[in-house]
Amino acid sequence: MIEFIQNETKKIMYKCCERYSQRAGVGIDDVQLVLGINEEGNTYTMCENYVPKESYDIMQVLGVRIDFLGYRHIAPPFIIKSLLRFMEQYNITSDRIKILCVPTKDDKGKNDVALFVYNGNDYVETITFSELFREEDIEMPKLE
């Protein structure tokens, strides 16, 4: 399950950056997605050359109008738990914790996303998807 979530998240992040780059008329190498947190929950910011340009909501990140797969219910709590864990691990405040997601290619030329923890604008550590998302962080939505 966790591997599926990691792979799907990677695809979604890459596609989000790809859509933004096409719409903005810039190369995908010039686009980044930043995950953050505020008093209302998750934040998603599209950047060009590391300069914030647009705030997105989860549906814009997913690139859908209707979320038939329910990712909008699964992803945000999962991301928040990950951000809270990095906040505690590195003693970073909620207004400064960021995960920089940079579209790239892996060794085989396949679409990939590199992940970096930031404290505001200060680099902290390069992480993997398995470090970002752990099995114990999964919170499935409750059926009502």
Give the pLDDT of residue 76. 72
Residue 124: inside a domain: yes
Give the pLDDT of residue 143. 46
Residue 19: inside a domain: yes
Residue 144: inside a domain: no
Residue 143: inside a domain: no
Residue 61: inside a domain: yes
Give the pLDDT of residue 23. 94
- The DSSP string of the chain is -HHHHHHHHHHHHHHHHHHHHHHHT--GGGEEEEEEEETTEEEEEEEETTEEEEEE-HHHHHT-SS-TT-HHHHHHHHHHHHHHHHHHHHT--TTTEEEEEEEEE-TTS-EEEEEEEEETTEEEEEE-HHHHS-GGG--PPPP-
Low-confidence ranges of the chain (pLDDT < 70): 1-2, 67-74, 135-144
Query: In this predicted model, what pLDDT tens digit does every residue of 47-73 receive, in sequence order?
Result: 999 999 999 988 788 877 776 666 666
Looking at the 3D structure of the chain, how many domains does it have? 1
Residue-number span of the structural domain to which 43 is assigned: 2-137
